[in-house]
Amino acid sequence: MEGFVSQDKLTIGDLAVKDLTFAEATKEPGLAFAFGKFDGILGLAYDTISVNHIVPPFFEMINQGLLDAPLFTFRLGESEEDGGEATFGGIDPSHYTGKIHYVPVRRRGYWEVELQKVTFGSEELELENTGAAIDTGTSLIALPTDIAEMLNAEIGATRSWNGQYTVPCEKVPSLPELSFYFDGKPYPIKGSDYILNVQNTCISAFTGMDINLPHGSLWIVGDVFLRRYFTVYDLGNDAVGFATSA
What is the average pLDDT value for the chain, to the nearest integer? 95
Count of CA atoms in the C-beta half-sphere (13 A) of 17: 20
Across 28-40, average pLDDT: 77
49-54: Cβ within 8 A, 24+ apart:
49/109, 49/110, 51/23, 52/5, 54/5, 54/21, 54/22, 54/23
78 pLDDT exceeds 90? no
Q: How confident is the model at residue 61 (pLDDT cuts 50, 70, 90)?
A: very high
211-230 confidence digits (pLDDT tens): 988 878 999 999 999 999 99
175-196 confidence digits (pLDDT tens): 999 999 999 999 999 999 999 9
35 pLDDT exceeds 80? no
115 pLDDT exceeds 90? yes
43 pLDDT exceeds 90? yes
Q: In this structure, how many other beta carbons lie within 10 angstroms of the beta carbon of residue 67?
A: 17
233 pLDDT exceeds 80? yes
37 pLDDT exceeds 90? no
Q: How confident is the model at residue 39 (pLDDT cuts 50, 70, 90)?
A: confident
147 pLDDT exceeds 90? yes
Q: What is the pLDDT of residue 60?
A: 98
